[in-house]
């Protein structure tokens, strides 16, 4: 059982929901990555998603794209990120999930990548441009070392495919709440709630909602329909603007989320 499974078992025992902030590694300099991870855990994050900057981030909205460009301009590399995450693991106890596209993995080498993130204590990996049909190139290798491949479903994913995707792995299922890119404001409507209800009804894994979530009301509302939320663009924005009080306030909603069952 890796840290992701343990985290959700603990959340389940306390009738709590997960709050998973996303941050872009290297935005603001790679030397601040460890401190930011420590800060997010201190503020109450259930797990942390760490983004790898990439020149063609097809799933990312403007805020995260700009953060990725700043990180690349700072000379951030996948190797450097993994090295910093290995340092962070000595001080951060919650799950760390790496979000990267396929190209950086290919450039690094699949076998070397799997070995490196395992040695760094990374618990999960999200690869948004990896389809279910292609995942055999890396999923078994990740499974062998106990790193969970976190899979995604969207509002346009057919029910049978949701069943197929959710039957794999032991981490959580990422339910994308919009039909576009990250940072796009979500429509809190019956169609979205119906989608989350369908995913929850079929998934044996915890279901987290993400994309376009940026305020307390959305977090609280969506948490009624799933096991927690992933918040990205808002976290990236607050770090970039050095608004630590607002960041702390946003993550403090975890206490309110623990009252939801």
- Would you please indicate which residues are annotated as catalytic (active-site) residues? 49, 60
H, E, C per residue of the chain = CCHHHHHHHHHHHCCCCEEEEEEECCCCCHHHHHHHHHHHHHHCCCCEEEECCCCCCCCCCHHHHHHHHHHHHCCCCHHHHHHHHHHHCCCCCCCEEEECCHHHHHHHCHHHHHHHHHHCCCCEEECCCCCCCCHHHCHHHHHHCCCEEEEEECCCCCHHHHHHHHCCCCCCEEEECCCCCCCCCCCCCHHHHHHHHHHHHHCCCCEEEECCCCCHHHHHHHCCCCCEEEECHHHHHHHHCCCHHHHHHHHCHHHHHCCCC
- Residue 211: partners with Cβ closer than 8 Å, 6 or more residues away: 176, 177, 178, 180, 181, 182, 183, 184, 186, 230, 232
Enter the tokens of residue 192. 């979205």
Parallel, antiparallel, or unpaired: how do β-strands 207-210 and 228-231 relate? parallel
Enter the tokens of residue 171. 């981490």
């Amino acid at each position: 059982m890796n840290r992701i499974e343990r985290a959700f078992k603990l959340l389940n025992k306390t009738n709590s929901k997960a709050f998973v902030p996303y941050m872009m590694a290297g935005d603001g300099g790679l030397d601040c990555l460890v401190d930011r991870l420590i800060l997010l855990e201190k503020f109450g994050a259930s797990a942390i998603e760490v983004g790898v900057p990439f020149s063609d981030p097809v799933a990312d909205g403007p805020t995260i794209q700009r953060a990725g460009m700043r990180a690349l301009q700072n000379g951030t590399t996948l190797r450097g990120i993994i090295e910093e995450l290995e340092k962070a693991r000595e001080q951060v106890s919650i799950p760390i999930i790496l979000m990267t596209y396929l190209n950086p993995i290919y450039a690094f080498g699949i076998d070397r990548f799997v070995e490196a993130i395992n040695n760094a204590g990374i618990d999960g990996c999200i690869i948004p441009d990896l389809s279910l049909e292609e995942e055999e190139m890396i999923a078994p290798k990740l499974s062998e070392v106990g790193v969970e491949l976190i899979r995604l479903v969207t509002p346009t994913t057919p029910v049978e495919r949701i069943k197929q995707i959710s039957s794999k792995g032991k981490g959580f299922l990422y339910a994308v709440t919009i039909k576009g890119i990250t940072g796009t404001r979500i429509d809190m409507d019956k169609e979205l709630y119906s989608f989350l209800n369908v995913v929850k009804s079929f998934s044996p894994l915890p279901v987290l909602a993400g994309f376009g979530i940026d305020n307390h009301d959305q977090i609280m509302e969506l948490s009624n329909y799933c096991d927690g939320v992933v918040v990205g663009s808002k976290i990236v924005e607050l770090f970039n603007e050095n608004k630590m009080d607002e960041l702390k306030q946003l993550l403090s909603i975890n206490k309110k989320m623990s009252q939801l069952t």
